Amino acid sequence: MKYVIDAYAWVEYFIESDKGKRVKEIVEYEENEIFTSLITIAEVSSIGTREKRDVELGNKTITNLSNIYGISMEFAKEAGILHAEIRKKIKDFGLADTFVLITARKLDAKIVTGDPHFKGFKDAILI
């Protein structure tokens, strides 16, 4: 199965919370294909820096455990259009969340997240 891990899920993984243990089961199960959106790297790095965590170790862990899904100009344009559409219904839906959502859709994957913004999205598995 294919999964896209978002920043919320990676943070839970790193702090080894109960939710993080669920993420670990998915990420470390060898039969799963794990992906991380490039923008998630920025989010996790920002959170890690603010919380005075080892950002380099976090990035190395993510790149060792997942495939990094990059973006193109076309991808960025699609993200902007989808973000505008979603914001009509969910006023505070983040642009980074949209990048994660499109990544999952392009890969036919499920998003692993605890972010309540994804509640009701068929693409998401809430931890």
CATH number reported for the structural domain that contains residue 84 in this entry? 3.40.50.1010
13, part of any domain = yes
Average pLDDT, the chain: 96
Residue 39 lies in a domain: yes
Instruction: Tell me whether residue 71 is in a domain.
Output: yes
Q: How many whole angstroms separate alpha carbon 5 and alpha carbon 3? A: 6
Q: Is residue 126 part of a domain?
A: no
Reading the block at residue 58, the tokens are: 């976090």
Give the chain's domain count. Answer: 1
Q: Which domain holds residue 82?
A: 2-119
Residue 93 within a domain: yes
Is residue 127 assigned to a domain? no
| Residue 44 pLDDT | 97
Q: If pLDDT is split at 50, 70 and 90, which confidence band does 41 have? A: very high
Beta-bridge mates of residue 69: 37
Has residue 99 been placed in a domain? yes
Can you give the pLDDT at residue 43?
96
In a domain, 125, yes or no: no
Q: How far is CA 126 from CA 63, 80, 111, 115, in A?
A: 22, 24, 8, 7
Q: What is the mean pLDDT of residues 11-39?
A: 97
